[in-house]
Amino acid sequence: MFAFGTSERAHADQMLYGILNAACDASRGNPPSEQDINQVLAAVAGVGAKDEIEGMLATQMVATHTAIITTLHRQKQSETLLERERYGNLAVKLLRTTSMPAVRRLWAPSPRGNGARRNQMNKFCTIRNYP
């Protein structure tokens, strides 16, 4: 439950159900394995959510990351140019919407007041027209 930043069982169950549906390749006849469950929980726990909102964002980040990796794998395995183009375009869209906010968060100024990394990141985003 602490991986999702909550002490509420119902909220943790909802987040776990959501992440398993989004990140695991499972069906009714093929439920997610223990390894699948542990992998997504480890990824969510790695974010270190402090409350329910951060837990929801962590769940969304892990699900989106899994979708990106799966899409890139499918693009690599594609046999036709049309498939490669479609999977490539989808991967680029997913990467653009998720990667820059994550990079901005990582490069945020430290509590000690060192803003050099943030200035570098703002310059990087401005040059490449990222929000």
Ranges of each domain in the chain: 2-127
- The model carries a pTM of 0.68
Place of tokens 């375009």: 89
CB atoms within 10 A of CB 59: 25
Higher pLDDT, 39 or 103: 39
Reported as a single tens digit per residue, the pLDDT across 30-88 is 788 888 888 888 999 988 888 888 888 888 888 888 889 989 999 999 999 999 999 99
Whole-number Å distance between alpha carbons of 14 and 72: 28
At residue 32's C-alpha, the angle toward residues 52 and 20, to 5°, is 25
